[in-house]
Amino acid sequence: MPDFGLFYKEWRQNKALLTTIFVAFMINNPFTVLSKYNSYRGCAAQQSEWGGTCLFTIDYFHGTFISLFWIWGVVLAVSQIGIERSKGLSEFTLSLPYTRGQVFNAKFMIGGMVIVVPQLIGYVLSVLLLVLLKPDQVFYFHYYSLGMIIVSMLAYSLVMAGGALTGHIFAQLLVSFTVVISPFLVITLPAISMDILFGGRLAFLDFPIPEWMMYVFPITYVVPNWVGHSPYYLVIPTVMNIMFYIIGYISFTKMSNERNGSFFLWKALDLPVQVIVIIFGILGFGCFGYAASGGIGGYLFGMAAGAVIGFLISYFAIYKKTKHV
């Protein structure tokens, strides 16, 4: 269990951001209810002029900004690890008489509380508003409110794990973004390439991906479509939250966290990741070349260009250290 001093240090260091995120999460759900109510009141005021019917409905699947609030989890994780390391504050934190595990847990716990607690408060306030205002219909309120707590924590834990693995802000964001788009990189690009090479004769590409499999990938939760499906799918991002926490904890405690400008803190990852980037560059530019030319010649030319571009990007991103700020 982290010491109170670590919580106080995290609060003093990020109090402006923590306060902003807390307030934003707390008022967003009640603001949504009040905004819909004001729209209904405006409609009712004009009803006598055009003779229509006004209904006070709240649909969390459409017309709410709550689905964008996972971004606050990303901002908080970048501030707690990426910005702290880039400014050299991590050396001071690690010099305190605490273990690295205590430091990481203090960051994660205060981040989790700032994400979860205000959303629970906002949920309770929204329930009270719904009881008071008595809307005609409310869609997906409970499922969406609970789901956004899990999704915003998923974004936070993912970027925290990315920050614990990498040495600066750009690397933290790039690794996190790569994990988010991993289904496209791991499944779609190879499938398209195989389809091109076999002349479109691979019948298995015509079958849709099972719905449950979509929820294994974090990118699914970026858009609010998940709210229209089974609430049991929220178990998957809950498990991913735990997994990313474990990855972040192990990386933070076992690797050097001082500011050294390296892309990955664990140097053994450099070469395998570079090879993977080159492979994705070959496949991606090969598919683009085929789409642009419509022939296998364009596909081969795109593969060659992708190999060069993938090598250059991976070399300068991974092996060239960033300057200290």
Q: Are residues 139 and 71 in the same domain?
A: yes
Q: Are residues 272 and 188 in the same domain?
A: yes
pLDDT per residue of the chain (325 residues) written in tens, 0 to 9: 667 778 888 888 888 999 999 999 999 889 888 888 887 777 777 765 655 677 778 887 775 667 778 899 999 999 999 888 888 788 888 888 888 899 999 999 999 999 999 999 999 999 999 889 888 888 888 888 888 999 999 999 999 999 999 888 888 999 999 888 887 788 778 877 877 777 665 555 555 666 677 788 888 888 777 777 778 888 989 999 999 999 999 999 988 776 777 888 888 888 888 898 899 888 888 888 877 877 788 888 888 998 999 888 888 888 877 665 4
In a domain, 225, yes or no: no
For residue 189, the enclosing domain spans 181-216+266-325
Q: How distant, in Å, are the alpha carbons of 94, 99, 220 from that of 3? A: 14, 10, 37
The separation between CA 226 and the C-alpha centre of its own chain, rounded to angstroms, equals 15
In a domain, 202, yes or no: yes
In a domain, 223, yes or no: no
In a domain, 295, yes or no: yes
| DSSP-H helix ranges across the chain | 4-50, 70-77, 84-86, 89-95, 100-133, 141-165, 169-180, 182-183, 189-197, 211-214, 235-254, 270-293, 296-314
Q: Are residues 243 and 315 in the same domain?
A: no
Mention every residue, 6+ apart, whose C-beta is less than 8 A from residue 143: 227, 231
Q: Are residues 164 and 27 in the same domain?
A: yes
Contact 196, 287 (CB under 8 A): yes
In a domain, 240, yes or no: yes
d(CA 107, CA 104): 5
Q: Are residues 78 and 204 in the same domain?
A: no
Q: Are residues 21 and 157 in the same domain?
A: yes
In a domain, 105, yes or no: yes
Instruction: Report how many domains make up the chain.
Output: 2
pTM, two decimal places = 0.88
SS3 256: coil
